[in-house]
Amino acid sequence: MANHKSAVKRARQNEVRRLRNKGVRTRVKGVIKEVRTAAAESSGEPLNEKLKDAQSVIDRAAKKGVIHKRAAARKISRLAKAANKAAAAS
């Protein structure tokens, strides 16, 4: 455990941030899974809505610094690619 007053505060802040970031990361994983399952079912219009929502959630996570901006761009790109592939197949 931390010995100095400032180190105790820093540990407390880190715990709060860890829990906040965990929720954001979980949400990102959830929307990615939704888009992938929709793409597997190749369900046209709802797929585009899910992709749009996922892009918004991922961009917000990057803006908050929870994930890196390039990681966010990579995730969005791969989702778009999967959605386009599913749309072309149907």
C-alpha pair distances (Å), 78 with each of 7, 8, 12, 14, 27: 40, 41, 36, 31, 17
CATH number at 35 reads: 1.20.58.110
Q: And the tokens for 88? A: 């072309």
**Mean pLDDT, rounded, for 13-25:** 96
Is pLDDT of 36 > 80? yes
If one counts the domains in the chain, the total is 1
Q: Which single residue is written with the structure tokens 């959605």?
A: 83
Residue-wise pLDDT tens digits, 38-85: 999 876 678 999 999 999 999 999 999 999 999 999 999 999 999 999
pLDDT at residue 34, as a whole number:
94
pLDDT at residue 45, as a whole number:
76
Question: Domain containing 60: what range?
Answer: 5-89
Side-chain half-sphere exposure of 66, counting CA atoms within 13 A: 19
Give the global pTM. Answer: 0.86
